[in-house]
Amino acid sequence: MSDPRLASRLKEARQAAGLTQAELAEKAGVSRKTVNTVENGVFVPSTILALSLARALGVTVEALFWLAD
Amino acid sequence: MMRRENGAATERRRAFRHRAAMALCGLGLLVAAASGLLWEKNGLDRHALLGMATFSGIGIVLVGVIGLFAYRPDTAEQTRNQTGSYRDRVQRSWVGGITILPAATFGLTVIAMTRSQAWLSGEDTSWSGVILAGVAVVNLLLIPLMLMGWDGGSKKIKRLIEDELTQSYRASAITCAFWVLLIGVTGAYLVGLWNPEAVIVALPMILWVSATTAALRFAQLHRRAEREMDVDE
């Protein structure tokens, strides 16, 4: 489920937005577990989930996820 | 901040109770061992008294073991980290239900096996026996049905349960169970070349093991994700 090619700045973006994992989860319509596993790189989100998280944080998907070199 | 202080106090109380349970457990072991030794000497006519002491010791050990389990350390901290939204709580209770299903259906699997054996051997040729064998094994379908979220319930609850992580864990659990089923059925086919009746009797158990694999793998993935949750800040 994890992929070393995916880099993420989700935790930083969430903290910058002043949200807890539970609050972000609520806004994105997922469980807190999902947010936590994405933040820790344990779970690779689908395009839909990545877009939902980006929308909930008011940023673009590219600002949250990118391909690590 | 307040919540963290409360959590720390709870953890301190829990640690104290854990130590108390451990001491109780040790005392119980000591009493049981000492009484057992005296029992062995067989000197005075104190058998009833020593028997009571032995069983009291065992009783104390049991209470201690329950205490050790109930007040194991770090549980308060873990519970605090695991708190989440309503969705998380619904998912937690749903996964709990899936976890107990294998134990609940094990008895039915054994019934299906014994009834099918009785039917095949000609011991019991009544229709009620064969119907019971069929119904008992059909009950095993409850496990995959519940895992897939097809067990009824309101649309709202289903929406809360169905998130991407759940779907991913479900896929992993079903894949795992598929391999177990494949190996089980292959083994059954090979055995069936010599003893076809044994295969029919064993099939409910193969189905139970496969369904249980799916349920337990799913629960294990969920629990692991909960255990590894960070402090929510």
Distance (Å, whole) CA B136 – CA B105:
8
**Interchain CB contact of A46 with B (< 8 Å):** yes
Comparing CA positions, the residue from B140, B160, B149 lying closest to residue B218 is: B149
> A28 is in which domain, residue-wise?
6-58
Nearest to A32 among B84, B164, B168 (CB): B84
Residue in chain A closest to B230 (alpha carbons) equals A36
pLDDT given for residue B184 in this prediction: 97
Residue carrying structure tokens 């996820």: A65
Nearest Cα residue in chain A from B166: A34
- Does A49 sit within 8 Å of B91, measured CB to CB? no
Q: Quick check: B158 pLDDT over 90?
A: no
Task: Tell me whether residues A26 and B85 touch, CB distance under 8 A.
Answer: yes
Structure confidence at residue B46 (pLDDT): 61
Which DSSP letter does residue B141 get? G
B84 with A40: Cβ contact below 8 A: no
- What letter does residue B231 receive in the DSSP assignment? P
pLDDT at B151: 79
Q: How far apart are CA B210 and CA B208, in angstroms?
A: 5
pTM of the model as a whole: 0.71
Q: Do A33 and B88 touch (CB under 8 A)?
A: yes
Determine whether the interchain pair B165/A34 forms a contact, defined as Cβ–Cβ distance below 8 Å: yes
CATH number at residue A40: 1.10.260.40
Domain regions of chain B by residue span: 2-81, 85-227
Average pLDDT on B89-98 reads 90
Which chain B residue shows the shortest CA-CA distance from A2? Answer: B168
Its ipTM equals 0.89
Rounded to whole angstroms, the Cα distance separating B183 from B157 reads 35
A64 inside domain:
no
Residues of A in contact with B229 (CB under 8 A): 32-33, 36
Question: Residue A53: inside a domain, yes or no?
Answer: yes
Q: How far is A20 from chain B (nearest CA, A)?
A: 5
Q: Predicted confidence band at B44 (pLDDT cuts at 50, 70, 90)? A: low
Residues of chain B with C-beta less than 8 angstroms from the C-beta of A36? 225, 228-230
Q: Which residues pair with A66 in a beta bridge?
A: A7
**What is the model's pLDDT at position B39?**
63
Do residues A33 and B95 make contact, with C-beta atoms less than 8 angstroms apart? no
Answer yes or no: is pLDDT of B91 > 60. yes
**Alpha-helix residue ranges (DSSP H) falling in chain B:** 2-41, 47-70, 75-82, 86-121, 127-138, 142-148, 155-161, 164-192, 196-227
Give the sign of the dihedral formed by CA A40, CA A41, CA A45, CA A47: positive
Whether the Cβ atoms of residue B214 and residue B87 lie closer than 8 Å to each other: no
| Mean per-residue pLDDT, B214-220 | 95
Residues of B with CB under 8 A from a CB of A: 83-85, 87-88, 91, 163-166, 168, 172, 222, 225-226, 228-230, 232-233
Residue B45: its pLDDT value, please? 52
For residue B231, give the chain A residue with the closest CA: A21
Query: Cα(B135)–Cα(B185) distance, rounded to whole angstroms?
Result: 21
* Residue A1 is assigned to a structural domain of this protein: no
Q: Domains in chain A: how many in total?
A: 1
